[in-house]
Amino acid sequence: MAKNLSLAILVFAAFFVSCKKEEQKAIIPAYLSIPDLDLKTDYSQEGSAHSKITTVWVFANDISIGVFNLPCVIPILEEGDTKIEVYAGVNMNGIDATRVLYSPYKKFEGQVDLKVLDTNFLVPSGIAEINYSSIATVTIVEDFDQTGLNLVKTIRSDTGLYRSNLPADVFVNPDEIEDNGKAGIFTLTGDKGFFEASTTDIYDLPQGSRSVFLEMTYKNEIPITIGVMAILPGGAIEQVQTIYLFESDEWNKIYINLVTEISSFPFATGFKIFIGGQKPSSMDSASVYLDNIKLAY
């Protein structure tokens, strides 16, 4: 009896060790490296490819792997030819804690031959390219490179916007060679301490809580406000601020969600975009630089 019991214990122990080994084999991951996503645009139709993709949503064989800040190296429990889908995310309204999947961008989708314990990339070059989705609406509000201006000062503004092609004033996309030769500037001096401009175009934007993003490249020596002007039946205008941006010494990219303001006016016949700012009395002069303003939804 004792011999049979000992034999049973040995068999169970061997089985247990075997199972443990199988489990250990099963959890050896492959690693997927995503250093960045490179946006490509049809410049004439979609404007600059300047982007600020901060986050990715990753799926492997239709299974959610998680949400990751870029750059990232992700362990994936798959091996061999694997369907990988990557959705680009941004910091909505420039807030790090508000990461959202950016629906106007098309997802990356491809087959990746995952090798366990190796670092694998989405594409051989290392950085995958994405585009705007074919079903997204992208409207260039102002790039300052065309004839005429779509941003004009309001009657309250002390000063108007002008264009500059000086190298020190112009935004240069570090990732793409683009025909981006001018920027829009507001300069406040002396008693001309307030600027405000709105679009001459009126935009028919979707209602029903659908996200509508205003993309913009900017740098500013004073805080600025951005929002919408709702055109109501009969011609009345309601002006609502969306965001207040603090100073930025370098060119920055932001994605501003206008959904709350637009949805607040379900009977509006259209919307304008406005930008404004006030120079503190302690400053002799201050400038605000704008470029690549577009709507995407």
- Over pLDDT 70: what percentage of the chain? 91
CA distance 251 to 174: 11
pLDDT of residue 25: 53
- Averaged pLDDT for residues 247-269: 96
Write b or e for each residue in 79-88: b if 16 or more Cβ atoms lie within 10 A of its Cβ, otherwise e: eeebebbbbb
**pLDDT greater at residue 1 or residue 188:** 188
Average pLDDT over residues 1-8: 42
Cα 76 to the center of its chain, rounded Å: 25
Query: Chain-wide mean pLDDT for the chain?
Result: 91
**Radius of gyration, alpha carbons of the chain:** 26
Q: Give me the count of residues in the chain.
A: 297
Sign of CA dihedral 32, 49, 205, 242: positive
169-207 residues labelled b (16+ CB within 10 A) or e (exposed): bbbebeebebebebbbbbbbeeeebbbbbbbeeebebee
Helix/strand number for the chain, H first, E second: 3, 21
- For domain 138-296, say whether CATH 2.40.110.10 is its number: no
pLDDT tens digits, one per residue of 5-41: 343 434 344 444 444 444 445 579 999 999 999 999 9
Structure-token pair, residue 290: 């704008």
Look at residue 231 and tell me whether its pLDDT is greater than 50. Answer: yes
In this predicted structure, the answer to whether residue 124 has a pLDDT above a threshold of 50 is: yes
Whether 99 shows a pLDDT value over 50: the answer reads yes
Could you give the CA distance from residue 58 to residue 64 in angstroms, rounded to a whole number?
Answer: 6
Residues 6 or more apart whose Cβ sits within 8 Å of residue 29: 75, 76, 77, 116, 117
Mean pLDDT (whole number) for 258-275? 96
- Output the pTM of the full model: 0.89
Which residue in 51, 1, 77 sits closest to 251, CA to CA? 51
Query: What does the domain layout of the chain look like in residue ranges?
Result: 28-130, 138-296
CA distances, 81 to each of 25, 110, 124, 231 (Å): 18, 10, 15, 53
The string of pLDDT tens digits covering residues 200-219 is: 999 999 988 899 999 999 99
- Between strands 37-39 and 128-130, the pairing is parallel
